[in-house]
Amino acid sequence: MTTFLDDIFSTEAVGNQVCCPCKKCVRRFCHYREDVYDHLIVNGFFKGFKQWNLQRDQALSIGTTHESGEQNDYDNIDGLLHDTFRDVANGFNENEGPTNELNEEARKFYKLIEDGQQELYSGCANFSKLSFIIRLYLFKCLNGLSNVAFNDLLDLLKEAFPFAKLPKNFQEAKNIIRVLGLDYKKIHACPNDCMLYWKEHEKDNYCSKCKVSRWKSDNVPAKVLRHFPLKPRLQRLFMCAKTADSMVWHDKERPKDGNIRHPADGEAWKYFDSLFPNFTNDARNVRVGLASDGFNPFRTMSVAHSTWPVILINYNLPPWMSMKPEYFMLSLLIPGPTSPGNDIDIYLQPLIDELRDLWEFGLQTYDAFRQESFNMRAALICTISDFPAYSMLSGWKTKGRCACPSCNYDTCSQYLKHSRKTCYMGHRRFLKMDHPWRFDEHSFNGGKEERPTPSTLSGSDVLNLLSNVENDFGKGKQKKKGKDSEGPWKKRSIFFELPYWQHNKCRHNLDVMHIEKNICDNVIGTLLDIPGKSKDHTKARLDLVDLGIKEHLHPYISDDGQHLKLPLASFSMDDAQKDAFLKVFKETKFPYGRASNIGRCVQNRERRLAGYKSHNAHIMLHYLLQVAVKNSLPKNVVISLIRLGNFFLAFM
């Protein structure tokens, strides 16, 4: 990067500034060197960026062409493979001495990389032997080719290009992929989510609990879990010298100025370090987070299907790498057609088994940067999910009287008779004891708030509470309903099988994007008075009467005595104000890649906003909502909504 910046600033600078080629600026804005450096590190080069001129291209060496932009475009699979494998091969070839320290896995991998550097055929500049096999295998997977069709395609290619170095058949190509660590294991599961057919049950034909057959027809399993082993992929991260160096960024290069830029700056990470110094002493030991959510793989809403991927995020890497898709690790693919629900623990067993081994025994791994083998250990530090998945992973019910995991048994909840749902109030308890809002009776529930902040349950507290709980997984038979089923706990989470899990301070976290989407939906639905989306309706007003608050909003009987009429709230808008509000969303344009075309979600005739995704809601809540309400609503409402948007913006 330094060489690249020296070059462009020596030839292109005007007033010590150049047009920044990052994904956000796209050479439209000029910045000083420090700003350009930061932009390129965080955002990367924009897609399609070419070298600045042909002469520079000829002058740059192989080592610096990576810095110039085209090979740094990680949206291109060939560029990613070339960059990764070139670094590995270069590190291997330039340092012959340390090869004696390689473990068996590293030897296989480096041998594959060395073979993969061969040209596909003499003079081929676009593909190496390895990159072509990977692209061919990707083509098979994306287009659903059978193994027989893949073999026929290889035969045709070998007949047309006899000089190309192609695999003999599908099995040979698959073996190469397996050595790369891109293989997965199929584990059969009970169709009622009672058990996995693995370990001692691997050869069983019937579920030991519900007695349902393992097969739906001859040699066709009823349900299959895909498990992508974690251990080889963690080893691969250290077999590339560049990535191995980045794996200690959180300890060696992270700014330690008291600001929170990375999970390592947080209290939970530091507390974990203090409890397990042996793990912390080697910065190469890996810390991962787990994220999971359901999705419909058929790209149509007419088919109800929910498949659940389980993704691991590597927090050793710097933020601009750990959040890139190429560094996410798919660990499990839980099949549909329905959500696993409370039984997700059954499917998490292979991953938990791996994580427990990585914590207790570690794994011999070759570090290409330091050119030595070491015993790598790994720890799961948290999960990230939306609120329903929070319940599935943690075992705490997120519905009913004690729905809040933070307040737990001290949740302030109240059932609304007219709306027929439970609401959760008492949020002023989280403010400082001398905060003026605690004594503001008029704006809230008509009383002062003098209760302290609810105490949270530590992992040890939870484990003690659930020490005698026996998990009952499976959907094969009806569960007994009684007093026990009404408690806040549904199970003892499988994560407590990890020896350190009870000591994690932030075990389960909520995804901010989901929260922003829900808040944005409710705010916009209420402001535009969208039927079925607004939170201000007759039932809500009648609940205000029952609560004895906000008398100016209470409904009253019409003059004819047959209808209830609702007084206008301060946030109500007429048609002209709604049109002005929607005009902001319709006409605002964002730089390429910042957001999709939000204007397409505006329905002028119906005066509504619909069909936007989570990322759009994120942008709307941060930037657009404040502008849209400025000239449409009273000052007191505008200030509140601007503060709401700024609250979320401050944490991003």
Last residue of a domain, one of 30, 46, 72: 72
Residue with tokens 């676009």: 126
Within-domain flag for 97? yes
CA 111, 114, 115: angle at the middle one, nearest 5?
90
Q: Which two tokens stand for residue 152?
A: 């026929």
| Residues 544 and 552 sit within 8 Å (Cβ to Cβ) | no
Residues 44, 61 within the same domain? yes
Residues 145, 49 within the same domain? no
CA 357, 358, 359: angle at the middle one, nearest 5?
90
Residues 131, 9 within the same domain? no
Residues 49, 87 within the same domain? no
| Residues 526 and 534 sit within 8 Å (Cβ to Cβ) | yes
Residues 342, 488 within the same domain? yes
Between 129-143 and 170-179, two packed helices, what is the crossing angle to 10 degrees? 110
Residues 296, 168 within the same domain? no
What's the Cα-to-Cα distance from 580 to each of 629, 630, 632, rounded to whole Å? 9, 10, 7
| Residues 306 and 339 sit within 8 Å (Cβ to Cβ) | yes
Within-domain flag for 209? no
Within-domain flag for 428? no
Phi, psi of 225 (to 5 degrees): -95, 130
Last residue of a domain, one of 134, 162, 179: 179
Rg (CA), the chain: 29
Residues 255, 151 within the same domain? no
User: From CA 453, how far away is CA 491, in angstroms rounded?
Assistant: 27
User: From CA 463, how far away is CA 149, in angstroms rounded?
Assistant: 53
Taking 50 as the pLDDT cut, the residues of the chain under it are 51-99, 481-486
What's the half-sphere exposure (Cβ side, CA atoms, 13 Å) at 536? Answer: 21
Within-domain flag for 203? no
DSSP letter for 455, please: P
pLDDT at 53 (0 to 100)? 39
Residues across the chain: 652
Residues 366, 465 within the same domain? yes
Residues 258, 352 within the same domain? yes
Residues 280, 158 within the same domain? no
b vs e for 105-115, b when ≥16 Cβ sit within 10 Å of the residue's Cβ?
Answer: bbeebbebbee
CA terminus-to-terminus distance, the chain:
27
pLDDT at 88 (0 to 100)? 40
Domain range for residue 164? 80-179
Residues 51, 104 within the same domain? no
pLDDT 10s digits, 155-187 = 888 888 888 888 888 888 887 777 666 678 999
DSSP output for 251-285: HHTS--SS--SSGGGSHHHHHHHHH-HHHHTSTTS
pLDDT 10s digits, 177-227 = 776 666 789 999 999 999 999 989 988 889 888 889 999 887 889 999 999
Last residue of a domain, one of 19, 41, 72: 72
Sequence-distant contacts of 553-562: CB under 8 A, at least 24 apart: none
Burial label for 450, CB within 10 Å (0-12, 13-18, 19+), is: exposed
Residues 489, 357 within the same domain? yes
User: Could you tell me how many helices (H) and strands (E) the chain has, helices first?
Assistant: 24, 19
- What total number of domains does the chain contain? 4
Within-domain flag for 543? no
pLDDT at 271 (0 to 100)? 93
3-class secondary structure, 227:
strand
Q: One-letter amino acid identity for 525?
A: G
Within-domain flag for 407? no
User: From CA 170, how far away is CA 174, in angstroms rounded?
Assistant: 6
CA 222, 227, 230: angle at the middle one, nearest 5?
170
| Residues 181 and 232 sit within 8 Å (Cβ to Cβ) | yes
Within-domain flag for 193? no
Within-domain flag for 108? yes
**Residue 302: alpha-carbon gap to chain centroid:** 26
Question: Global pTM?
Answer: 0.75
